[in-house]
Structure 1
């Protein structure tokens, strides 16, 4: 069947509905009928758009990370000030989005990471590629900060980017567990220290 604008819109509606629901409840707890109902799509049409629930999960993650890194690029490129200011604007946005809904957050890497990495190799790889893309952008921001003198790190920019991303992921999990933004606030302080700001 040829790809049409209507097909693309319907597929996108399904993915968007799934992201909203799975950000709250995870992957395994959500049934396909619930997602299709939320998207306003007839139940019989799911397999027209996705070959399996695994393929659906992979598509959700790829769509999520495509949107996430585009937004990340806007935040890091669009903020005023030095490269360090722009990178800190990204971390501030992270803190805000992970503090919503009693610190349950909106990050699918946080919500689904451990769950789907064991369920499906294709979803694990989609998570890996998506998180690598995030770390790539953090690394570029660190390099820009080193070039304009607005920050410094001990060691290589890639290793620093990976440490910071891992730190923020862990803090987001802890914020969910404690239902408190305190781990995010501690991580913000540690990030400033790590970047010598």
Structure 2
């Protein structure tokens, strides 16, 4: 008898969130990555396991969107995000607690910490909200357009831009169960 909810995706290029595996496999069990590796899968192909061989295709973690007012996207926005591979959208910097902190800084009651001398700036795709100019563009697509602009116009390496919207975003937001294709992470 096979293992329910077991899927093996093999013969694919994998972006793990931090590195590229030119040809490998991902074994997912119950919605969680059980194993990822280069080359051929050496585990047992049990009855009931769904096996997908897809040479020429790629697998990567779900994209993580960071934007103000994430809760306002509605059902259509959720569907748009998923259609474009954005599996997590986090609200950033627009709640009452942020407003209170800004007021403290403005009044001199709080200070913005100085960056360490060796700090490197990070660029993350799509941290702003919809403007009138792009109101008809679905959020998930806007994330892709922003990523493309970072590559084409800002000269960022494609792998760095993908990492910023997957592994780096997960790290920044404390989402330790996603952002990478590795064992014990969500298969999003």
TM-score, scaled relative to structure 2: 0.31
Greater radius of gyration (CA): 2
Higher strand share: 2
Higher helix share: 1
User: Which has the higher relative contact order, 1 or 2, with Cα contacts under 8 A spaced 6 or more apart?
Assistant: 2
